[in-house]
């Protein structure tokens, strides 16, 4: 069903045509208002205050949609976004200034600058797993860089989507920022319009659809996608800490995190010890009966629940394995005896099931990873720099951690994104501002003199040029 609580359709619009909305935003962008620094800062400030004022409502929406605990809702969604807002407001003045860069000797007399200019009207399409954060974090970048924005939240988290729509409607005019609620049809209708930038977070197959639609208008895109992110525990790792940090990164949000460790590569020598500590770590985090833990996140839909449940007969269940079809919950589960030919190893799992493979040499691990698409994240647990470097230097992946999981995501100093099939582009912190800005290079030339050698009619011109361009 197509809902449209947020954006009110106007003359010229229909449920499969958003030209009025986009034209209206284009006209507003042309007034120059969204580009004004004071306007951008005010928009960010208003957003921050509204989020703070609606903290409880947001927690309730996330609870209704995904059974997210207040702790998870704050740390991974609300708090993260507030920190991004504070960081952006603090640094925006320095980011918007044209950046002076060096000028080569061949350009003597001139000065070189990089201007950050907004693209114009941006489209932000968000998924359901962190439905608030993944809609608002890109919006911060869009506003900071001086763009207008249309946000299409996920239809699978309807309470958060409706609250987002209500919040945004209360803050900004639709000609500046609008939320269009709806499902695939709405997304496709929006994609028919000519946006100046498209920021998409979601699955790899839909990423292809987005890029194809963007290609028609040569619209630049950021694609924040997914994939199977490996987690390697070498024999020299701090096993106890590794167990705790992996259990946290994997099972938070019931594994429905794009950068959650998708599968474990355990060194044969520490496998049993690690698994026993891992089981303890899960118990410590979620109790002996996670299905009865009111703070344990549920699976978003019946379709995903059934998809995940079908993996439970892969390999052997080491721990967990129980499910509750009523509440769509699945225990944190570890599967051993897994090989690359098991169905669970085909696609991103996106749920609280962790398959384990064992290895003897790092070569096997590297070979296994190289035979598959470049992952969004990678985690290596080892106490030795050579081991860490062997993995970091030989595997291409979006980003990751040494001796931790997921934590790189929350640093505003580390641009976050994938590579190849796991994504294009990156954001967070200044990265978000840069993503939503075109970098316009400008040479300011002197008129006090004119170096002659570039002109083809100058005697010895080529000889002089050859002295510099070599
Ligand atoms: P999805 O691709 O199914 O949907 C994402 C958005 O696209 C939704 O708003 C949806 O309405 C829209 N959409 C779906 N099908 C469409 C189509 N055919 N045409 C146009 N729009 C369409 O993804 P999801 O299930 O909501 O989220 C899970 C996926 O997102 C996982 O693969 C996960 O790895 C990825 N993800 C990536 C990141 C990241 O930052 N890289 C973060 C979170 C999730």
- Between 416 and 468, the more confident residue is 416
Assigned token pair, 39: 């306007």
Query: What percentage of the chain has pLDDT greater than the value 70?
Result: 97
Residue that the structure tokens 């605990």 belong to:
69
Per-residue pLDDT band at 1 (split at 50, 70, 90): very low
pLDDT at 3: 43
Across the range 295-312, mean pLDDT stands at 97
| pLDDT tens digits, 30-45 | 999 999 999 999 999 9
Overall average pLDDT of the 226-239 stretch: 98
Average pLDDT estimate for 5-11: 57
The separation between CA 279 and the C-alpha centre of its own chain, rounded to angstroms, equals: 29
Atom of ligand 1 nearest to the CA of 418: 41
- Quick one: pLDDT at residue 17? 74
d(CA 33, CA 48): 20
The yes-or-no verdict on residue 4 having pLDDT over 60 is no
pLDDT digits (tens, 9 = 90+) for 343-379: 999 999 999 999 999 999 999 999 999 999 999 999 9
**Could you tell me if 34 and 119 are in contact, meaning their C-beta atoms sit under 8 angstroms apart?**
no
> Which residue has the CA at smallest separation from atom 9 of ligand 1?
154
- Pairing state of beta strands 437-444 and 111-118? antiparallel
Give residue 257's pLDDT: 97
Q: Tell me the average pLDDT of the chain.
A: 96
Q: Could you confirm whether 258 is annotated as catalytic?
A: yes
Percent of the chain scoring above 90 in pLDDT: 94
DSSP 47: H
The question of whether 224 is a catalytic residue gets the answer: yes
* pLDDT tens-digit series, residues 129-142: 999 999 999 999 99
**346 alpha carbon – ligand 1 mean position (Å):** 18
Nearest CA to ligand 1 atom 31: 203
Which residue among 77, 84, 155, 258 is the active-site one?
258
Helices (H) and strands (E) in the chain, counts: 16, 18
Best of 127, 305, 397, 432 for a ligand 1 pocket test (most atoms within 8 Å of beta carbon) = 127
- Tell me the CA–centroid distance for residue 128 and ligand 1, in Å: 7
Cα–Cα distances in angstroms (integers) from residue 458 to residues 304, 400, 451, 453, 468, in the given order: 71, 55, 10, 6, 16
In this structure, what DSSP letter does residue 74 have?
I
Q: 427 to each of 140, 347, 391, 419, 431, how far by Cα in Å?
A: 10, 25, 24, 13, 4
Q: What is the pLDDT of residue 6?
A: 58
pLDDT reported for residue 14: 62
Stretch 56-72: mean pLDDT, rounded?
A: 97
Q: Is residue 289's pLDDT more than 60? A: yes
The mean per-residue pLDDT over the stretch 176-204 comes to 96
Dist. CA 93–CA 88, nearest whole Å: 9
Scan for tokens 């009207």, then name that residue.
121
Q: Summarize the confidence of residues 391-402 as an average pLDDT.
A: 98
Average pLDDT over residues 435-464: 94
Mean pLDDT for 56-60 is 98
Provide mean pLDDT across the span 158-175: 97
- State residue 7's pLDDT score: 63
Which residues sit with their C-beta closer than 6 Å to ligand 1? 125-129, 134, 152, 154-155, 183-184, 187-188, 201-203, 206, 209, 224-226, 258, 348, 350, 376, 418, 423
Q: Separation of 363 CA from ligand 1 center, angstroms? A: 33
Evaluate if residue 2 carries a pLDDT over 70: no
Distance between CA atoms of 430 and 447, rounded to whole angstroms? 35
């Amino acid at each position: 069903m197509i809902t449209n609580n947020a954006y009110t359709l106007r003359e010229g619009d229909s449920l499969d045509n958003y030209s009025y909305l986009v034209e209206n935003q284009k006209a507003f962008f042309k007034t120059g208002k969204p580009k004004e620094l004071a306007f951008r800062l005010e928009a960010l400030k208003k957003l921050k205050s509204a989020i703070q004022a609606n903290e409880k409502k947001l927690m309730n929406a996330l609870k209704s949609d995904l059974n997210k605990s207040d702790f998870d809702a704050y740390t991974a969604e609300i708090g993260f976004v507030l920190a991004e807002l504070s960081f952006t407001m603090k640094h925006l003045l320095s980011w918007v200034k044209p950046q002076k860069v060096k000028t080569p000797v061949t350009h003597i007399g001139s000065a070189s600058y990089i201007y950050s200019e907004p693209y114009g009207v941006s489209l932000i399409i968000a998924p359901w797993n962190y439905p608030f954060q993944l809609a608002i974090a890109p919006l911060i970048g869009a506003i900071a860089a001086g763009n207008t924005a249309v946000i299409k939240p996920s239809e699978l988290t309807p309470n958060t989507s409706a609250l987002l729509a209500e919040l945004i409607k209360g803050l900004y005019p639709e000609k500046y920022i609008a939320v269009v609620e709806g499902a695939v049809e709405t997304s496709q209708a929006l994609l028919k319009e000519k946006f100046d930038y498209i920021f998409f977070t979601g699955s790899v197959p839909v990423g292809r659809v987005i890029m194809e639609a963007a290609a028609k208008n040569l619209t630049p895109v950021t694609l924040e996608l997914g994939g199977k992110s490996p987690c390697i525990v070498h024999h020299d790792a701090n096993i106890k800490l590794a167990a705790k940090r992996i259990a946290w990164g994997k099972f938070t949000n019931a594994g429905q995190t794009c950068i959650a460790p998708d599968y474990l590569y355990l060194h044969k020598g520490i496998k049993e010890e690690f698994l026993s500590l891992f089981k303890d770590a899960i118990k410590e985090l979620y109790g002996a009966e996670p299905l009865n833990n009111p703070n344990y996140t549920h699976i978003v839909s019946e379709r995903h629940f059934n998809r995940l449940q079908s993996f439970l007969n892969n390999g052997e269940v080491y721990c967990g394995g129980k499910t509750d079809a009523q509440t769509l919950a699945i225990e944190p589960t570890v599967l051993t005896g897994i090989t690359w030919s098991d169905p669970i190893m085909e696609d991103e799992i996106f749920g609280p099931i962790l398959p384990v493979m064992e290895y003897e040499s790092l070569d096997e691990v590297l070979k296994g990873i190289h035979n598959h698409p470049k992952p969004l994240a990678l985690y290596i647990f080892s106490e030795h720099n050579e081991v860490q470097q062997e993995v970091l230097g030989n595997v291409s992946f979006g980003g990751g951690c040494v001796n931790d999981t997921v934590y790189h995501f929350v640093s505003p100093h580390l641009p976050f994104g994938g590579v190849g099939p796991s994504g294009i582009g990156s954001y967070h912190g200044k990265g978000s501002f840069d993503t939503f800005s075109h970098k316009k290079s400008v040479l300011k030339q002197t008129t006090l003199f004119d170096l002659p050698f570039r002109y083809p009619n100058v005697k010895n011109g080529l000889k002089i040029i050859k002295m510099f361009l070599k």
